[in-house]
Chain A
C-alpha cells in the first residue's frame, strides 16, 4: 500500500532515505543519551531498588576522609557492567552468571615471607573495622566509575601476619574453580587470576580489601566475597574473589601481563600520558556521562601516591 511499485524504487533513493533515517536516529540517540536515558535509569534505580536485596547483608562501617565527594555511579551500573572474565568476557553477562555463585564458606590464606602465616575466615574479616571508601575507578578500557566500597586497609591484614624484611611484593590469587566460574572453562586467560603489588603499594593507606558496596556485602559480580581495590591503578589490578595472599621476594607476574606483556605492565598506574598500545588513555568516559573527561595522573590520587614512583621512568614501567 505504501509502496505501490517496490521494484521500481530507484536505488539512488535508498541512500537519501538512509541518510534521513540516520539523522533522525542520531537526534533520537543523542536526546536519549543526554536526557531521557539517564533520567529513566535514575528513576528505575529509585523505583526498583529490589536488585539491591540480591547483594546481601547490611554492613557496619565508618566514613573515611579518603573518600571523594564526586557523584556516585548508580548501583545498577556498578553491578551490571563488570569485567569479570571468570564469568564471561562480556561485561553485561556476569550480573546474570554470578547469580548462583555462593561465596561461602570462604577462607583467605595469607602466607609466604611472614612470621605468622594465617588463614582468615571471610566472616571474621567482615567484623574488622570497616570503612566506606568512595573511590574513582578507572578501567584500562577507557571508562570510569565512582564506587562507594566498604572495606579495610590491606595493611591491617598484612601487619597481623608480620611480613619479614625479605618480603618485597605481595602476590594475590583468585579462586580457581571452573564449576563455579564458567569463564574458567576456557583458557582465555591463564587461570587462576594472579595480581601483584610492591610492598609499599600494598601497605599504602589507600589500598583496601573491599568486602562491600553501597553499604552491603559485595555482589558476586563485583568480586565477592573479598577483592582488592587500588584506586590509582587501572581496574584490572583489583583482583576479585581472593583466596590467597602471598608475600614474596620477586615481582609477581600478573595475569594480564602474562596475556599481553606489551599492553599491561606490572604497575599499571593510571597515566593519561602513557597510551595503551591500541588506544589513548588521555580521556575516559565516566559511566552515566555523555562527554569524555580528561583522565587524571594516578587517577587523581597523585598527592598521596606519586612519591612512590619518584625517579621512575613511567613509560618503561607502565
Chain B
C-alpha cells in the first residue's frame, strides 16, 4: 500500500478549489461579478476533474503505477461534486429559481443544452459508484460508466460554445480530452487478450472491488 495518508491528503487537495472560492467570497475578493466567477470556477473544476478522472487509466498503464486506480472513483465523484455546485450556482445564484427562464434556456441555448446533458449523464455514474452497485451491475457497470466519455465531450463543447470570442482556454481542454480519448482508441485497436489480462491483473489484486473500465 502506498503512503497511508495519501488518500485523505488527495481528498483535501480536491477541496482546495472550493475552499479558495469560499474564502474569496468571504473576503469579497471575487470581483465585480461574483456570481459569474463562482459559475466559471465551479465549471472549470468540473472539467478539470473529468480530465483527471480520464487520465487515471492512461497514467497507471503507461507508468505501471497500477495502484492509481484507487483514486479514480474519488476524482470522478469530485467531478460530479463540482458539477453539482456549478449546476446549483446556475439554478440558484444565476437564475434564482426562475423555472420558466431555466426551461427556456435548456431548450433554446445549445451551450446550456449540452452542459445540462453532461451534468445529467453524471448522475447515474455517481449513483452507481458504490461497491454494492459495482457488484450488482457486474459487466454492465463498465458499459454504463463509459458515459463519462460523453459527459467529458459535452462538457468541453459546452465551454467552447459559451465563450464569446477567445476560445484558447477551452481549446486546451479539447486537446487534452482528444489525447485522452485517442489513447483509448489506440489501446483498443492494438489490444490483444494477453495484454489486457496483464494490465488488468494488478488492478484486481490491489483493489478487487473496483472494475477497470479501460
- Listed in ascending order, the chain A residues whose CB lies under 8 Å from chain B are 2-3, 6-7, 9-12, 14-15, 18-19, 21-22, 25-26, 28-30, 32-33, 36-38, 40-41, 44, 76-77, 80-81, 85, 89, 91-92, 141, 143, 188-189, 259-260, 275, 278-280, 282-283, 285, 287-288, 290-292
Q: When the two chains form the complex, which single residue of A10, A18, A279 contacts B109, counting CB atoms closer than 8 Å?
A: A279
Q: When the two chains form the complex, which single residue of A9, A15, A25 contacts B126, counting CB atoms closer than 8 Å?
A: A15
Check A11–B101 contact: CB distance below 8 A. Answer: no
The answer, yes or no, to whether B131 is at the interface (CB within 8 Å) is yes
Taking the nearest CB of chain B, how far is it from the CB of A221, in angstroms?
A: 12
Contacts of B166 in A (CB 8 A): 85, 89, 188
Contacts of B36 in A (CB 8 A): 143
Bound state CA distance, A277 and B95, in angstroms? 18
The answer, yes or no, to whether B161 is at the interface (CB within 8 Å) is yes
Check B31–A80 contact: CB distance below 8 A. Answer: yes
Check B22–A280 contact: CB distance below 8 A. Answer: no
Q: A25-B21, A32-B25 are in contact. Are A11 and B33 (CB under 8 A)?
A: no
Q: When the two chains form the complex, which single residue of B28, B38, B74 contacts A36, counting CB atoms closer than 8 Å?
A: B28
Taking the nearest CB of chain B, how far is it from the CB of A71, in angstroms?
A: 15
Bound state CA distance, A40 and B25, in angstroms? 11
Check B32–A28 contact: CB distance below 8 A. Answer: no
Q: Which of B84-92, B146-154, B171-179, B185-193 forms part of the interface with chain A?
A: B84-92
- Listed in ascending order, the chain B residues whose CB lies under 8 Å from chain A are 1, 4-8, 11, 15, 18, 21-22, 25-28, 30-36, 38, 70, 73-74, 77-78, 80-81, 84-85, 88, 92-96, 101, 104-105, 108-111, 126, 129-131, 161-162, 164-166
Taking the nearest CB of chain B, how far is it from the CB of A17, in angstroms?
A: 9
Contacts of B73 in A (CB 8 A): 11
Find the B residue at minimum CB distance from A283: B101
Decide if the interface of chain B is mainly helix, strand, loop or mixed: helix
Taking the nearest CB of chain B, how far is it from the CB of A295, in angstroms?
A: 12
Contacts of A41 in B (CB 8 A): 28
Q: A21-B15, A22-B84 are in contact. Are A6 and B4 (CB under 8 A)?
A: yes
Check A11–B129 contact: CB distance below 8 A. Answer: yes
Check B7–A6 contact: CB distance below 8 A. Answer: yes
Bound state CA distance, A85 and B84, in angstroms? 32
Taking the nearest CB of chain A, how far is it from the CB of B117, in angstroms?
A: 16
Contacts of A14 in B (CB 8 A): 11, 74, 77
Find the B residue at minimum CB distance from A145: B32
Q: When the two chains form the complex, which single residue of A26, A141, A280, A292 contacts B164, counting CB atoms closer than 8 Å?
A: A141
Contacts of B95 in A (CB 8 A): 292
Check A33–B25 contact: CB distance below 8 A. Answer: yes
Bound state CA distance, A92 and B24, in angstroms? 15
Check B5–A26 contact: CB distance below 8 A. Answer: no
Check B35–A285 contact: CB distance below 8 A. Answer: yes
Check B18–A21 contact: CB distance below 8 A. Answer: yes
Other than the given A37-B25, A37-B34, 14 more pairs (CB < 8 A) read A7-B4, A9-B7, A15-B126, A22-B88, A32-B25, A40-B27, A80-B32, A188-B165, A188-B166, A278-B109, A280-B108, A290-B35, A291-B96, A292-B95
Bound state CA distance, A143 and B205, in angstroms? 55
Contacts of A92 in B (CB 8 A): 31
